[in-house]
Amino acid sequence: MLVVDDGIPDAASVDDFRLDLAVASLSADVSVDSLLHLLLAHSRRLLHTAAGSVSLVDPIRGRYEKRAEDGVACQVGRSFPLDEGATGQAVTRRMPVVIDDYGDLRAGHLPPGHPAGHGAAAAIPLWWRGEVIGVNVAFAGRRRRFTAAEIDELELLTQTVAPVVANVASAVPSLAKLLREHGLVGAADLGVQTVVTEVGAPRPVPHTVASTATDLVALARQAAARTESARLHVAVVHRPQGLRLLVQDEAAGSMPPATDPLGLGARSWDELAAITAGVRGAAIGVEHVPGWGTLLRADFPSTAAQPTRPVETSPLTARERQVLSLLAAGLTDREVAAHLVISPKTVEKHVGAVLRKTRTPSRTAAVAHALDRGWLPPARTDLQPGAGRR
């Protein structure tokens, strides 16, 4: 029998594993790292696996970072290209991936000789607003087949942590560091050195802001190369009202026309507008001072966030939402029936209607679909799973 010591009082063994209790425990108000370690512990009990890892996706850099491990300790904090390992397969295919033998996988990341280096593995994407923001990977450490029910339950378990993880995955910890790294790419070819300074107390910024800032600096670098400028000064300024990006080109050339402030031709303002269009409330300006140079300034309000999908009206009835909410809390059909004082057949009828209306193939997919669109209330913590069993 495999027992995992995760620091949880009275932790259940694999033989006692209860998906409903596992889901409920993942609703606790704890740090994201503690939550991911708890997810891995539950995943191991659910599938009787030897090890596991959770990675978060960084779409701007085109990489993913190992954020938590269980049963193996070697890669936390390291990042890898999005096409590597089991995580890369789940990100690329945008669906759960089952691997017959992890040892046959290209660019696997387990250390040589690790017990889980061979055998079955399952990689489950973590979804938020239609995007894969992370992947939960389970390593069996032996030859076996995962059943459809096991993968379905692992999906539900994994998706439970999405709201908490989204707050981490949707932000870049250090914009200044990102801009410094980006400045090394292509800078030698253009002959323009990028010097980045950070002002104020650093704080994470949304990916949309980070992506926009990176594109603005790249555009300014192109403009500097045309004027044979050798250096750009970039300042990331953290202010109470939001983030300010300053990009100074010291080249003191002739005054450019107002319609073409960066000297890139008629496309200057069009490109600046296109780059900043994805961030609500962003403001941009360009100043040219004879004898001093050109200053590009962009302000991003503190409320700037990733664009959200348009609000969709729920097609579910009040009773269907009740049923789906209880399923999301980990209750079985019989337990839902007991809680709502209706028959199991009626529950099945409501579940069928939910699947049709959400156009999803399973209860797990329906729960994820409804959570993603805000159709369900917060998870219930006052339920007593098991009450409906006979």
Cα–Cα separations (whole angstroms), residue 314 to 93, 129, 371: 28, 16, 11
Helix/strand/coil (H, E, C) string of 171-186?
EECCHHHHHHHHHCCC
Q: Is residue 8 part of a domain?
A: no
Rounded to 5°, the CA angle 314-318-320 comes to: 80
Q: Can you read off the two tokens belonging to residue 277?
A: 């269009």
Extract the residue ranges of the chain whose pLDDT is less than 70: 1-16, 20, 23-31, 60-61, 73-74, 107, 112-113, 167-173, 182-191, 227-230, 251-261, 263-269, 291, 303-312, 368, 372, 377-390
Rounded to 5°, the CA angle 386-389-390 comes to: 145
Q: Is residue 3 part of a domain?
A: no
318 and 270 in a common domain: no
CB within 8 Å of 386: residues ≥ 6 apart: 18, 20, 335
Of 150, 170, 190, the position where a domain reaches its end is 170
Neighbours of 204 (CB within 10 A): 15
Q: Is residue 6 part of a domain?
A: no
165 and 73 in a common domain: yes
Cα–Cα separations (whole angstroms), residue 55 to 67, 273, 329, 332, 347: 5, 34, 25, 30, 36
Domain that holds residue 389: 311-390
Contact 107, 87 (CB under 8 A): no
Of 116, 144, 170, the position where a domain reaches its end is 170
| Of 127, 129, 130, 131, the residue nearest 161 (C-alpha) | 127
Residue 168's pLDDT is: 63
Neighbours of 255 (CB within 10 A): 10
- CATH number, domain with residue 37: 3.30.450.40
20 and 162 in a common domain: yes
Grouping H, G, I as helix, E, B as strand and the rest as coil, residue 90 is helix
Grouping H, G, I as helix, E, B as strand and the rest as coil, residue 243 is strand
Contact 135, 154 (CB under 8 A): no
Backbone angles phi, psi at 384, to 5 degrees: -125, 85
247 and 99 in a common domain: no
CA distance 126 to 105: 21
How many CA within 13 A on the CB side of residue 274? 7
Mean pLDDT, the chain, whole residue set: 76
CA distance 169 to 174: 13
Residue 7's pLDDT is: 36
41 and 156 in a common domain: yes
Of 142, 170, 198, the position where a domain reaches its end is 170
- CATH number, domain with residue 382: 1.10.10.10
Residue 167's pLDDT is: 66
124 and 49 in a common domain: yes
Residue 43's pLDDT is: 92
345 and 262 in a common domain: no
Q: Is residue 104 part of a domain?
A: yes
Residue type, 86: A
H or E stretch covering 136: strand 131-139
Residue 390's pLDDT is: 39
CB within 8 Å of 149: residues ≥ 6 apart: none
Tally of domains within the chain:
3
| Of 97, 46, 54, 89, the residue nearest 72 (C-alpha) | 54
Q: Kindly report the pTM of this predicted structure.
A: 0.47
Name the region of 142 (left: φ>0; alpha: ψ -120 to 50; beta: rest).
beta
365 and 324 in a common domain: yes
Q: Is residue 150 part of a domain?
A: yes
Residue 313 burial by Cβ neighbours in a 10 Å radius (0-12, 13-18, 19+): exposed
CA distance 190 to 74: 38
CB within 8 Å of 390: residues ≥ 6 apart: 334
179 and 166 in a common domain: no
62 and 196 in a common domain: no
Which spans in the chain are helix H?
19-25, 32-47, 85-93, 148-159, 162-169, 175-183, 187-190, 207-226, 268-276, 318-328, 333-340, 344-358, 363-372
Residue 307's pLDDT is: 41
Q: Is residue 5 part of a domain?
A: no
Contact 55, 75 (CB under 8 A): no
CB within 8 Å of 142: residues ≥ 6 apart: 50, 119, 120
Cα–Cα separations (whole angstroms), residue 285 to 33, 313, 347: 40, 39, 59
pLDDT tens-digit readout, 76-89: 777 888 888 889 89
Q: Is residue 9 part of a domain?
A: no
Contact 115, 50 (CB under 8 A): yes
Q: Is residue 377 part of a domain?
A: yes
110 and 82 in a common domain: yes
166 and 18 in a common domain: yes
Residue 379's pLDDT is: 46
Residue 135's pLDDT is: 94
Residue 308's pLDDT is: 42
